[in-house]
Every structure is written in C-alpha cells, then in structure tokens.
Amino acid sequence: MPAARPITVYNSSISGHCHRVRLFLSLLDQPFETVEVDLRAGEQRRPEFLRRNAFGQVPVIEDGEVTLADSNAILLYLNERYASDPARWMPRDALGAARVQRWLSVAAGPLAQGPSMARVIVLFGLATDPSDVIARSHNLLRVMEVELAQRPFLAGDSVTLADIANYSYVAHVPEGNVSLEPYPQVRQWLRRIEALPGFVPMVASPIGLAA
C-alpha cells in the first residue's frame, strides 16, 4: 500500500502565521512539504491561490481531500487529526480549553495588531507611523510578562497551542523595533519553547533592532 502523501503547506518563510503551522507539524513529527508563496509578488492574490483561500492569505494546507486556511484553525485541525495526545495541546476540561482559546484569540487580535504589524511595517517598508503599533506591542508584552511570572506557559504548567500560536511574532518582535529586554519572563518562555524536541526556528530578518 503506497504511503500517504505528506501534508502540503502553502507557505511564506517570512510569515509568523506560517511558521506556527510548520513549528507544530515539526513538534508532532508529521511529514510535510512546503510550496512557497511570494507575498511581495502578490502570488496570494492570483486566481489559483484564491481558489484555496478566498481571503488571499497564507498559510493554507492540503491534507488529502482537505484544504484548510487560517493558521489557528489549522493548528486545531492538526491537533485533532495527528497528535498522539490531543489533550496535551488543547485541554479537554472546560477551563483548560477556555484558557487556551483566550490566547488563540490574543494571537488573532492583540498579537496581530501589535508585534506582527510592527514587524510588517519595517519588513515591507510601509510609510506608516509605527508609534501606536509599537505601543500596542509593549502593552501585550507587559501582560504576558505578568502572566508568565505566575506560570511557565501561557495557559498553564505545560505547553499548549496557546504557546505555539503566539511564539513566532513575539520571538521576532525586535525586527519591528520592539525590544524584549524589559521582559525577562517572556524571554525565558521563548527559550522554553525553543528547547522543545522538534523545535524549528523561523527565518530571521536583519531589520529593526535585529539589524
């Protein structure tokens, strides 16, 4: 019987949304292949890509007959489909699940509007005043610093999807001219994730404070 084809990830190496999907696949030791989508060239807006995701955003995965967009939705799908212990990454009790969902919402809201956008402004050279975005980034990091002083991971005592969803853009926020120096608890949390078996880094961009 032929082996199942690996999952295909429509990917941009500079995207933290894509990195969280690749990171989780690697942590699960799940085979995958990537198809690079050139965001600068606008490939995500071409008809052949829009047939996979009408929003014109990466990542998208193809897993057999399944085509799925949205990085957080993909994390949930991969966990239920491929994790040997799905409850490790998404708790089954009501409170544990709610705590993870809270941070998935953060990843789609304050993280995207702060650290992610701060980096995008520098990465793409946008003619935008970054002051508000940098302030939002620090607001989020201050909250994370307080919460991570109480527990080793965002949603509890062990790593969950909450951490996977938020890691990439926090780790690379210096590229958006936001310093991590005032946040020792956040930096320790980043190191705990980077120590996980199967961890893969996101490509660094020599911009902002990381130049």
Tokens of 193: 């994730």
pLDDT at 68: 98
Dump pLDDT digits (tens) for 176-208: 999 999 999 999 999 999 999 999 999 999 999
Dump pLDDT digits (tens) for 117-174: 999 999 999 999 999 999 999 999 999 999 999 999 999 999 999 999 999 999 999 9
Measured over all CA atoms, what is the biggest interatomic distance in the chain, rounded to whole angstroms?
A: 57
pLDDT at 1: 35
pTM over 0.85: yes
- Give backbone dihedrals phi and psi of 113, rounded to 5 degrees, phi first: -85, -10
Q: Give the rounded distance of the alpha carbon of 69 from its chain centre.
A: 13
- DSSP line for 111-146: HIIIIIHHHHHHHTT-----HHHHHHHHHHHHHHHH
Domains of the chain, first to last: 7-84 (3.40.30.10), 90-200 (1.20.1050.10)
Length of the chain as a residue count: 211
DSSP secondary structure letter of residue 171: H
Helix, strand and coil content of the chain, in percent to the nearest 5, comes to 55, 10, 40
Please give the Cα distance from 142 to 100 (Å, whole number). Answer: 19
pLDDT at 106: 98
